[in-house]
Amino acid sequence: MIRLKDVAKKANVSPATASLALNNSDKVNAETMRRVQKIAAELNYIPDVRAKALKAKETKILGLVIPEIDNPFFSEIAKEIKRVAKKNGYNIIYCGVESQQEELDYINLFRGMQVDGAIFASSVSKVDANLALIEELAANFIPVVFINRLPKHTENIIAVNSELEKAPQVAIEHLVKLGHQKIAFAGKENESRMKGYLKALQKLNITYNNHYTFKNILSFEDGYKLGEKIAKQQDRPTAIICHNDEVAIGLIQSLVRLGLQVPADISICGIDNIRLSHFYNPALTTVNIPNKKMGRQATKILLAELNSSPEQKAKLFKNDYNFSVKLIERETTRALN
Amino acid sequence: MIRLKDVAKKANVSPATASLALNNSDKVNAETMRRVQKIAAELNYIPDVRAKALKAKETKILGLVIPEIDNPFFSEIAKEIKRVAKKNGYNIIYCGVESQQEELDYINLFRGMQVDGAIFASSVSKVDANLALIEELAANFIPVVFINRLPKHTENIIAVNSELEKAPQVAIEHLVKLGHQKIAFAGKENESRMKGYLKALQKLNITYNNHYTFKNILSFEDGYKLGEKIAKQQDRPTAIICHNDEVAIGLIQSLVRLGLQVPADISICGIDNIRLSHFYNPALTTVNIPNKKMGRQATKILLAELNSSPEQKAKLFKNDYNFSVKLIERETTRALN
DNA sequence: TAGATAATTTAAATCGTTTTAAAAAAGGAT
DNA sequence: ATCCTTTTTTAAAACGATTTAAATTATCTA
């Protein structure tokens, strides 16, 4: 293990000078700098991040907390965030969480100051048990940005949102225009999309039918199983809006397998507009959520927070970020009869 | 920011005692220990990982390097690795890499000793440019385990493998049994699966046709585009083996869209056996690669390396891990006429 | 109760950097 | 040559924990 002092000794300077030289300080003689850097390279010296961070309070690492990453919606976000971060000299580590507890572990890791900042893109159950802790993290340790998690920014956390609640409404409007009234929703109770569905029904004066909301449907598999249930159902909806594209695709998969036609027999609409939805057969009608845009914005904000004066920072907190959603009409929805 | 000495002061003990108490040392009086721990909890004290690691040489964090995570094959591995690690008190950070350079960044991060050990599950182009550096990492810094990357273990790196090269052979044998001879392969040049395909052709005495190997086909989209090409092709293969299930599904998607039937007109076989392949319609015939098993084994080895004496460690290096692959026959392959 | 032993606590060194303040060297002006 | 700047280098403190070895206190034995 090569230490700074090894480099210094070989270059005949003190550790202090060596440190300065390696950090391109203009206090050090140009010739000395070149010599030290050359020797460091020869010895393949890599500074100890822990020691460095301990003193310099910087690791150039950002943490990204996301739900376990089999959902392409999130992997697209993750990729975009990394792209922007890398371009600005920061490394990203992903923290995939499946439960409140796991998220908590990472919050503590972050509190231990391994990272310079964090983005939380993890959706969370109705009571946000970790919110207080994250608030504290943001207040005392590192800047934090949320993606689709808080309604608005709080004292210490900036939130980048999309109009998630409006997505089902957009879908319903589209379906109503096509003559549908029996419009179902498959998703998660108390989550913004499900809420948005219920609100939109009221707003558009469509009678709510208890049999038309399917709860706890989140994954491809859930959608698949739901299809088996719906195929057997008596009073079948004529259209179903799904919590995300994966559910929609799983659903279509099983409906078709059981002999139902999409969209001839039943219209299906997804939410998210993941890349796959475009290539699916039939191509999926869905509501676009600008995930990459959110990722990009969140990262920019985080970087700005890290590199700005208190006044600039205050200004950052004046803004609210709420990106709009948009229907992408493709092949899985069609006019009734 | 609460420091150890703050806790110590409030508990009326020295930092040394506080440290001992918080680490459950039996050198400290039971009553003192309780008092210190209580106060630490009250103050919401969380130790600084950097400082801790600097002295104690331990972070309880493992790094996992994987290709960017839109491929479910890898997210399944990742999840499994995290499960095992968590159970043993270690946290996992994911490092998604898309290029040699990105991988290099993480190697350096690891060299800076932020993590206690690392698993590399990233596949890499034909010349493994980073191998020497990873070797050095393993020799001088932290234990490293490879998944599907090296043929065998080296001096310092244990490799957990599956018989990837045999996967195409298994598929071909299945297809030949069904009467196919015009068997194509879509994948990546110089990669083990492609190599396995060519070898198997020879071995099974099937004439090689230049038009039947499609190169640079790795993703869902690649498969989709390939379908458009194959649909137009004159001398079409009767069966296609794909580099992975995503390619297979993309391929089927576009073939069907262009009016070809699978498996009536053409048989398709995937590799990987991702969860989705089971739910796909028609359900995908594929070759199972035991990814979770590999993840589990790799993690166990890493943990063993971290917690074992030199002799035990030597013993670990005696073993080779090479899991077998297996055909999963489902609905996308069928007998030729 | 002295003396020995065991249990508990603590001062100080340490990990590998950065940074501050002071020292040394170099350059310039008279 | 002397004094004053400016440039360059360095010794030492600091970051926040752990750990070693020494000091203190408590317990036991005869």
pLDDT in tens, A45-102: 999 888 988 888 788 899 999 998 678 899 999 999 999 999 998 999 999 999 999 9
pLDDT for B139 equals 87
pLDDT for B327 equals 98
Phi then psi for residue A90, to 5 deg, are -110, 145
Phi then psi for residue B317, to 5 deg, are -75, -5
DSSP three-state, residue B98: coil
Q: Looking at beta carbons, which residues of chain A come within 8 Å of B76?
A: 70
Q: Looking at beta carbons, which residues of chain B come within 8 Å of A106?
A: 91
- B91 close to A (CB below 8 A): yes
CA separation for the pair B135, B153 (Å, rounded): 11
pLDDT for B151 equals 82
**Contact flag, residue A30 CB and nucleic strand D, below 7 A:** yes
pLDDT above 80: residue A226? yes
pLDDT for B175 equals 97
Phi then psi for residue A170, to 5 deg, are -55, -40
Task: State the pLDDT confidence band at B49, using cuts at 50, 70 and 90.
Answer: confident
pLDDT for A59 equals 84
Q: Looking at beta carbons, which residues of chain A come within 8 Å of B44?
A: 136
Mean pLDDT of B282-294: 97
Q: Looking at beta carbons, which residues of chain A come within 8 Å of B253?
A: 279-281
**Mean pLDDT over all residues of chain A?**
92
pLDDT, tens only, A178-217: 999 999 999 999 889 999 999 999 999 998 888 899 999 9
Contact A49 B114 (CB under 8 A): yes
Lowest-pLDDT choice from A122-136, A259-273, B57-71: A122-136
Mean pLDDT of B70-87: 93
DSSP three-state, residue B113: coil
For residue B109, give the chain A residue with the closest CA.
A49
Task: State the pLDDT confidence band at A124, using cuts at 50, 70 and 90.
Answer: low
Q: Residue A184: which of A233, A116, A114, A135 has the closest Cα? A: A233
**Contact flag, residue A13 CB and nucleic strand D, below 7 A:** yes
- The encoded tokens of residue A167 equal 């997505």
CA separation for the pair A98, B65 (Å, rounded): 19
pLDDT above 80: residue B125? no
CA of B31 to C1' of C1 (A): 30
DSSP three-state, residue A209: coil
Residue nearest to nucleotide D9 (CA to C1'): A17
Chain A contact probe: residue of B2, B44, B45, B46 with most A CBs at under 10 A: B46
Q: Residue B223: which of B178, B147, B280 has the closest Cα? A: B280
Q: How far is A152 from chain B (nearest CA, A)?
A: 27
CA separation for the pair B100, A160 (Å, rounded): 32
CA separation for the pair A161, A282 (Å, rounded): 30
pLDDT for B162 equals 96
CA separation for the pair B171, B186 (Å, rounded): 13
pLDDT for A28 equals 94
Q: Are B198 and B191 in contact (CB under 8 A)?
A: no
CA of B233 to C1' of D28 (A): 96
Q: How far is A180 from chain B (nearest CA, A)?
A: 27
Residue B10, CA distances (Å) to A266, B2, B39, B235, B291 in order: 68, 11, 7, 83, 51
> DSSP assignment, residue A264?
T
Nearest nucleotide by C1' from A6 CA? C16
Q: Are A223 and A254 in contact (CB under 8 A)?
A: yes
CA A252 to chain centre: 26
Nearest nucleotide by C1' from B56 CA? D18
For residue B133, give the chain A residue with the closest CA.
A44
Please give the domain boundaries of chain A with CATH numbers for all domains: 4-47 (1.10.260.40), 59-162+291-323 (3.40.50.2300), 165-288 (3.40.50.2300)
**Greater confidence, B58 or B124?**
B58
